[in-house]
Structure 1
Amino acid sequence: MEESDDVSVSPSSGGNLARKVVTVAAGEAHTLALTGDGYVYSWGRGMFGRLGTGSESDELCPVRVKFKPEKGLKFVGVAAGAYHSLALADDGSIWCWGYNIYGQLGVNGENSLVPCLLERFLELGSGTRSEVPLQVCSVKAGGMMSLAIDNLGTLWMWGNCPLESSSSEGGFSLVSSFTPTPVWDFHGHMVVKVACGNEHVVALVTAGETYKGEDLICFSWGSNNHGQLGLGDKENRSRPEIVEDFNKDSIFAVYEVACGAFHTAVLTHKKRPSETLESMCWTFGLGENGQLGHGTTQSASSPETVKELPQYVYLISVDCGLFHTSVVSSAGDVWSWGMEKGLGLCPDASFTGTDAGDAISPLQILCNGSNGSKFQEPVQVVCGAAHTVLVANDGYKLWSWGRGRSGVLGNGKTIDCFSPTVVLWPPLTEDFKQEELNTVGEGDRIAEENSKGVTKTEKALCSAIEETKLLQSKLAVMERYADILHGSIFGKPLEEQDIPISLQNSGIHDIGKEWDRMLESADPAKLVRLEKFYQKMLEGVKEKLLKKRIQEIVKECLSSTINKV
């Protein structure tokens, strides 16, 4: 679930920057997009306020995130954690919204439904080791943590971060921090890129004091229970250590890194001089769903290449979902591997084709457009927990596939897609149309007004989208109600795999049969919890009945007394 790196905005010849997506970021079930004119859009699941729209409603297609005060703000970077989001403005300010239980928004308090300014960051930077004013250059997020890199190359972390702890065994623990904290281990060097999973961090750091292009060294630290640090063992690390395969003496130059929940992917090419520009993808960590692409379901504690990727291709982007990995080449070829044919879907998803099952080696994702199997002018690929988004056509077209629940694919639907589907971009909303009007010339504006702005088809689609939003809002209320009930009974929120199979396969649900099936398959601990829950519920019902009966008797007595008087 990776996010934006440093973004350089350069408009295409004759292109409209309002329509051009320069980078995207994917969270557990939501997606962010940044346009060339500096605006942020979001779609997908709205729970905890991760979309920044002011509500917890889902959005089935891209909507613009509003910032207050918005005047003069232009954004240059976005990042998405599991349930929270970050946006970086061109003045170096960081805005955060969504889930905040671990302080990943960098502020004390509850979850935020709208973007809030991380005000203390500049104050913290006023005492840094240089007289150069502190300015954040890029933001990242993953799991329950947030990260930023400033113009001095210093890495900052906040949220649920892996930090050194004297109280924990082995000196490692995850510590909730509401305040951005610098990582001083790289003093005298510059952190250029960083990625993080649920509990681990991987950083690409310069060998010297400045960045020279091919001198990056790979460091990792945090939880290592599956070998996701690539250090050859499964011991946790509280401080950054060099991944020796990518040290300063390596023949490979590292240029991209991504982290899944418990695995890591790295892109390298041979250091110059080299006769060709082909690159390689290396993976390590948890492999039980084939997310390493090594042809097995074994985990790996040291980096190994994904051998079945074609030779002589140059990979421009890589990202990891919870249990799947995707890469895209400069030629427009996309490969994925991992859970459920590389889609990242749960094993009980509705994908029941003859080739269903985890992909332990790369599978090519074919474009179903008019230009054949390749995606035109690819820019970036990102993975959410169980969905994938590709920026193509130099940023003017978005594709998505995988889990569609809550509208995370941005195509106006909530169904899973096993092949690429087109994201509804640019969005057909009045806000977007106003931005379009503000960017065209006077002649174009007159023509726009004469043509009444939009076609009948667009108006009909806008109306359908609004109706869908209303239905989705009602669905969100029902989901929350179901979560509360399920949490009360079973001690955890309702998840997709908890939905009874009979209800998934048809609209008819035999609650009696499902209840018997659930009791039959439940372990003793769950049965004990159920027994306690229903005992308490029964006691509560009896108490309420008794109170109401007493109230009725009192009323009857009072009524009888009044009548006698």
Structure 2
Amino acid sequence: TNPLLRGGVPASETVDGFTLSPTKGPANTAGTHTTITPPSPPTSGITFTQVSAGGAHSLAIGSDGNTYAWGFNINGQLGDGTSIGSNVPVRVRTPAGVRFTQVSAGYDHSLAIGDDGHAYSWGQDEYGQLGDGTRDYHPTPVRVTDPAPNTTWKTISAGHSYSLAIDNHGHAYSWGRNQVGQLGNGSYDRYSPYPYLTPARVIDPAPNTTWTAISAGDYHALAIDSDGHAYGWGSSSFGELGDGSSNTQSLTPVRVTDPAPNTTWKSVSAGEWHSLAIDGNGHAYGWGYNNWGQVGNGNTGTNQNTPARVIDPAPGTTWTTISAGHRHSLAIDNQGHAYSWGNNRFGQLGDNSNTDRNTPVPVDDLRRITVTGITLDRSDATPAPAWNTGSHTWDTTAPAHPDGQVTANIHWTLGGQPQPDYPLTYTYTYTHQYTLPKAGSIPIQRLSGGTLLLLTTLTTLTTTAHQLTRRNRHPARHIQPTA
């Protein structure tokens, strides 16, 4: 077998290749139906166990235990010790002996929790968002200052120039920029936006509040308490706090309006000016700014100041993961399928288009094999191969070609990325078709002995068949014996 290739690099394992059926057809004749059966998609040697999307960079934890980053890097947010961007994953330079168990990508900085329980940060630090007590940018991870001795962290979230975290006691902390109250500490500093250089407690909405989830958006924050109630603080310019307000802000946590009695929440995610959440039944909700349909309720241009149900792509859909981006939204259903909606100017919905969506659409499968064409010798098959949903094959027709064996080159993509042609060497045979000449069209002296033998045999068979036909028309009469 020939190993499939990805971007010119052999896959991590050899897999069975493409196959053709049938493997032969008439020479000099176009139109023979040809079926191309693709192989199972290859898998990478390293898979990602967690990913996080930031302003213009991404973070991921690999199955090998290392942390990877890619994208924009002018502020060192990739954590590889440089300020050079990368369009492929590069290793984050983690502290010696530490592996990261959780990562979060902010607008231009990054956060992580190590297997030692400590929080780490790197990238831009103009507003103290790294939490190390300085305003110095760092191209590799540095330790976030602990608010108390023996502090360990459970959850972190990086926003637009500020950071949030929950410690091992369930207390919420914040640090960094606070121009609209997004730190939740009861104040805001529009004209002095960077005094919070280390973690400080978020004000609890009630005594003994503990938190289980937290999310930092651009200018607002969301969290879930141990009772399953959702809260928001910071900007509510477009209803993103979900408490029914708009054109305002809250300096401390306010309760998100429940869409139904006894609603509890499993997860929340804060975007630029919109919010997303999953309730205890697995239903997705959105609220806030909706100019591109990022709320997902089927409307575009109408803002939502309380939670509205995201329209399910199919009856009975439930969701396990949800994420609010800058102006778009992502979610994963209980079957592991990814969906997206909202702004799609730069293709961020991943649906192979640039069309905005106000309801969830499937994200294109990164491991999907698409056959874009097939060339037999030097002739392209037409029309282009078409996907057959029932048989999971690609259908086309073979072009005309003289008799003989030819190589079939399969043109294909993996996850939308063109791959080197897959050659099926001398696997298709064009066979010559012999036909009898019409009577009188070829002089008898030009026929070979083999042809005369063939004609004689055919003549004999024809005569015999004629005699049998006449016999069947006049069957023998049987005389019945008399008594």
Report the TM-score when normalising by structure 2: 0.61
- Find the partner of 1:86 among 111, 123, 137: 111
1:159 maps to 2:176:
yes
Instruction: Give 1:365 shift.
Output: 2.3
- Call closer, same or farther: CA 1:49–1:166 in 2, change over 3 Å: closer
- Call closer, same or farther: CA 1:89–1:316 in 2, change over 3 Å: same
1:330 maps to 2:325:
no
Q: Is the 8 A contact 1:295 1:361 kept in 2?
A: yes
Task: Report what 2:470 is aligned to.
Answer: none
1:239 maps to 2:243:
no
The CA RMSD over aligned residues, in Å, is: 3.2
Task: Report what 1:268 is aligned to.
Answer: 279
Task: Determine the C-alpha separation between the residues in 2 that align with 1:24 and 1:240.
Answer: 27
1:111 maps to 2:124:
no
User: For each residue in 1:459-513, what CA deviation from the matched residue of structure 2 results, as whole angstroms up to 9, or x when unmatched?
Assistant: xxxxxxxxxxxxxxxxxxxxxxxxxxxxxxxxxxxxxxxxxxxxxxxxxxxxxxx
Task: Determine the C-alpha separation between the residues in 2 that align with 1:243 and 1:365.
Answer: 29
- Find the partner of 2:298 among 295, 298, 302: 295
- Call closer, same or farther: CA 1:115–1:314 in 2, change over 3 Å: same
Q: Secondary structure of the residue that 2:254 maps to in structure 1? A: strand
Q: Is the 8 A contact 1:336 1:343 kept in 2?
A: no
Query: Where does 1:441-460 land on structure 2 (aligned, <5 Å)?
Result: none
Task: Determine the C-alpha separation between the residues in 1 that align with 2:113 and 2:45.
Answer: 18
Task: Determine the C-alpha separation between the residues in 2 that align with 1:332 and 1:366.
Answer: 13
Task: Report what 2:309 is aligned to.
Answer: 305
Q: Is the 8 A contact 1:315 1:329 kept in 2?
A: yes
Q: Secondary structure of the residue that 2:204 maps to in structure 1? A: helix
Identity level (%): 28
1:51 maps to 2:78:
yes
- Call closer, same or farther: CA 1:176–1:368 in 2, change over 3 Å: same
Task: Determine the C-alpha separation between the residues in 1 that align with 2:323 and 2:137.
Answer: 27
Matched residues, number: 325
**2:135 aligned partner, one-letter code:** G
Task: Determine the C-alpha separation between the residues in 2 that align with 1:302 and 1:110.
Answer: 39
Instruction: Give 1:341 shift.
Output: 7.4
Unaligned regions of 5+ residues in structure 1, if any? Answer: 1-15, 127-132, 208-215, 271-278, 346-350, 373-418, 423-565
Task: Report what 2:233 is aligned to.
Answer: 221
Bigger helix fraction: 1
Task: Determine the C-alpha separation between the residues in 2 that align with 1:333 and 1:86.
Answer: 27
- Find the partner of 1:125 among 110, 129, 148: 148
1:182 maps to 2:201:
yes
Q: Is the 8 A contact 1:338 1:344 kept in 2?
A: no
Q: Is the 8 A contact 1:18 1:37 kept in 2?
A: no
- Find the partner of 1:40 among 38, 63, 67: 67
Instruction: Give 1:176 shift.
Output: 4.6
Bigger strand fraction: 2
- Call closer, same or farther: CA 1:268–1:166 in 2, change over 3 Å: closer
Task: Report what 1:553 is aligned to.
Answer: none
Unaligned regions of 5+ residues in structure 2, if any? Answer: 1-42, 371-413, 418-483
- Call closer, same or farther: CA 1:166–1:256 in 2, change over 3 Å: closer
Task: Report what 2:479 is aligned to.
Answer: none
- Find the partner of 1:193 among 188, 201, 213: 213
Task: Report what 1:504 is aligned to.
Answer: none
- Call closer, same or farther: CA 1:158–1:292 in 2, change over 3 Å: same
Report the TM-score when normalising by structure 1: 0.53
Instruction: Give 1:61 shift.
Output: 1.3
Task: Determine the C-alpha separation between the residues in 1 that align with 2:345 and 2:312.
Answer: 15
Instruction: Give 1:30 shift.
Output: 1.0
Task: Report what 1:281 is aligned to.
Answer: 284
Q: Secondary structure of the residue that 2:87 maps to in structure 1? A: strand
- Find the partner of 2:48 among 9, 12, 21: 21
- Call closer, same or farther: CA 1:370–1:36 in 2, change over 3 Å: closer
Instruction: Give 1:367 shift.
Output: 2.1
